[in-house]
Every structure is written in structure tokens, then in C-alpha cells.
Amino acid sequence: MNRNRRRLLGHAGAIAPLALFADLPLPARAATTVIRKAIPSSGETISVIGVGTARRYQGAAGEAELAPLRDSLRTFLELGGSVIDTAPSYGNAEAVVGKLLADLQPSPAVFLATKLGATGRDAGREQIEQSFSHLQRRPLDLIAVHNLQDVETQLAQLRELKAAKRIRYLGATTSNDRQYKAFEAMMRKQALDFVQVDFALDNRGADQRLLPLARERGMGVMVNLPFGRGRLFDATKGRPLPPWAAEFDCASWAQFFLKYIVSHEAVTCAIPGMAKPAYVVDNMGAATGRLPDQATRKRMEAFIDAL
Ligand SMILES: NC(=O)c1ccc[n+]([C@@H]2O[C@H](COP(=O)([O-])OP(=O)(O)OC[C@H]3O[C@@H](n4cnc5c(N)ncnc54)[C@H](OP(=O)(O)O)[C@@H]3O)[C@@H](O)[C@H]2O)c1
């Protein structure tokens, strides 16, 4: 590693201070390194910020709708992002992601995660084959059973797929605390590479049992709904960042919300929905610089709870 690069890398694989990062032109930013974390079951690392594709990537058909999405993904890749999360239930989002990646030809390839939400083995298999076709990728990196739907049957099917090397990792998702009890029981029973759960500064229920259990069981954690679908932006609208946010290289509310999540020891990455290049630049800033320590994380919780 050359001296410059060593200087830029912190102990967590972090890069230079955020102000410097934000001022750099895109190619120069790409030359630096974003914070990455290891997938517990393999040691392979992924960027701590990924792209969620629910809602904003579905429905795009013509070039006018595809162009801003392509620009967003291009920016994400140029900034060193490596994870994209999608699902067969997000309208045509899988096909949109497949097309955009075919256009962009990222190298190295992105870590591509999708889901399986079907009942019965045949319906599950049909959906899986559609995902391969829409995403134009073999093997797929991760397929996770969506919201516990027919979870035993579908996980068994995913295990076969993994053994056949058609997928690299398998997992399960939830985004609703009404499912947490059943989700916890499933986590205790099944060997999973990843769980995907909802977790945000104002929605910390997953931290009670699911996140510690994931750590104990050696499962990677992807965090969905990191902004509560924008709820956190509404809560902080018009308010300045507290001055102590600068102590962990945080320059925006989005980075405040995301740095809280990715600094959790059990979390592997957060997957905010981002369909605008400006959002991508902002959110990828959360994968750079210092992260808050435990005491600061508590301070962040108290700050949001007091709003
Ligand atoms: N059960 C499951 O498996 C499950 C459930 C839900 C979600 N997910 C996954 O999690 C991902 C994230 O969820 P989500 O997209 O619904 O919600 P989210 O990430 O909590 O919020 C995304 C919204 O925040 C706004 N935003 C993003 N970056 C911003 C920035 N820098 N500044 C200001 N506003 C910003 C955007 O709103 P506008 O676009 O309105 O401007 C965006 O649509 C999904 O895309 C999906 O991949 C999985």
C-alpha cells in the first residue's frame, strides 16, 4: 500500500475527512476507499452503504425515466459503492437494475441482492428463474426470503441453489416489528448468511434482540428503511445539525442517520433508497471518515428522542 493510501485509510478502512471527500471531483473520490465491512460467513467485504430500489426504481420504462436512475448508479459505483438490493415484488425494479447494470458494466461487479416472496416450491422456483433472467447475472450474490413468506420451503430451495453455486449467499428479510418474534425463532433455527431488518434512529426495535442475535449467530445484517421512508427527514426539517456531528465527520442529516446505523457492530450495510445522484453523493459520505463511538451513538438517540 502506498503512503498516501495508507494515510487515507483509518483503522476501520475509512478515508480522508469528509470535507475533503465532498470537494473532490468524482474520479478522485473513487480513488479513495469507502468503509467496508466483512460478511461474517465468508470474510468478503462490501461497502457499508448500498442502494435500495423499492418504489423509486419501479415503473421506469423509457429513457427519460431510466437516465436519472442510471446516473445515480453510475455515481454510486464511481464513489466505491458495491451493494444493490432489489426484489421481484418491486414492480419491474429487477429488470430496471439488470438493464442499468448491463449498460454500466461495473468492474468489479456489484454485490447484487434480491428476494424470494412466493408460496410453494414451484412458484418459488419460477420466481427465482425470473430473477436470474431480469437481473442478467449468474450467480446472484444473495437471495433472501421476503418477509418470512413460506420461509421453510423457500430456504430449503435456496440451500439447494447455493450448493449448486447459483447463488453465493442466502438469507431472510423483515421490515415489521409484528414479525420480530417469528423472525427471531427462524434465526435461531436456520443457518443464514444475511438477515435484512428495519432499523433507524427513530425505529430501534431491531436492536433489542435481532441485531445481537445476528452477531451471536454469525449473520450479516442489511438494514432496510434507514430513513423510515423519509420520516427522519420530516422530523429534522429546518433544524441545524448539532455542532458535535462534526466530531464524526458528519455534514448532513442523511449522514447523521446512516452513520448511526453503520456504526452498529452487528450491521454490515444499510440500503437507503436513492434514485438521485445528489442523494447518492450525500449518502455515500456516510461511508467515509470517522464513525460515532458508543457514547456518541447514545447522544444521537437522545437527540432524536427529544424532537
Ligand atoms: N421487507 C423488506 O425486505 C424491505 C422492506 C422495505 C424496504 N426494503 C429495502 O430497503 C430499501 C430502503 O427502503 P426505502 O427506500 O423504502 O426507504 P428509506 O431508505 O428509509 O428512505 C428512502 C427515501 O429517503 C429519501 N432520501 C434518500 N436519500 C436522501 C438524502 N440524502 N436526502 C434527503 N432525502 C433522501 C428519498 O425520498 P424521495 O425519493 O421521496 O425524495 C428516498 O426515497 C428499499 O429500497 C428496499 O430495497 C426491504
Above 70 in pLDDT, residue 31? no
Task: Give the ligand 1 atom nearest the CA of 85.
Answer: 47
**Cβ of 146 below 6 Å from ligand 1:** yes
pLDDT exceeds cutoff 80 at 286: yes
Question: Which residue, 54, 34, 14, 33, is CA-closest to 227?
Answer: 54
Alpha carbon 226 to its chain centroid, in Å, reads: 9
Confidence of residue 61 (pLDDT cuts 50, 70, 90): confident
Q: Which of 108, 106, 165, 173 is nearest to 140 (CA)?
A: 165
Q: Please, are residues 38 and 44 in contact by the beta-carbon 8 Å criterion? A: yes
- Our answer on whether the CB atom of 98 is closer than 6 Å to any ligand 1 atom is no
How far is CA 54 from its chain centroid? 12
Tell me, in angstroms, the distance from the centre of ligand 1 to residue 207's CA: 20
Quick check: CB of 39 below 6 Å from ligand 1?
no
Between the CA of 229 and the centroid of ligand 1 the distance, in Å, is 5
Residue 259 and residue 235 in contact, taking contact as beta carbons nearer than 8 Å: no
What value does the mean pLDDT take over residues 274-280? Answer: 97
Task: Provide the 8-state DSSP code for 146.
Answer: G
Spatial contact of 103 and 71, defined as CB atoms under 8 Å apart: no
Is 75 within 8 Å of 274 (Cβ atoms)? no
228 lines ligand 1 (CB under 6 A): yes
- Could you give the CA distance from residue 305 to residue 11 in angstroms, rounded to a whole number? 31
Q: Is the pLDDT of residue 6 over 80?
A: no
Please count the other Cβ atoms lying within 10 Å of the Cβ belonging to residue 120: 11
Classify residue 264 as left (phi > 0), alpha (psi -120 to 50) or beta. beta
Find out whether the beta carbon of 277 lies less than 6 Å from any atom of ligand 1.
no
Residue of the CA atom closest to atom 24 of ligand 1: 230
Q: Is the pLDDT of residue 293 over 90?
A: yes
Distance CA 124, CA 293 (A): 42
Q: Which of 58, 227, 259, 282 to mutate to test the pocket of ligand 1 (most atoms within 8 A of CB)?
A: 227
pTM: 0.92
> Whole-number mean pLDDT of the chain?
92
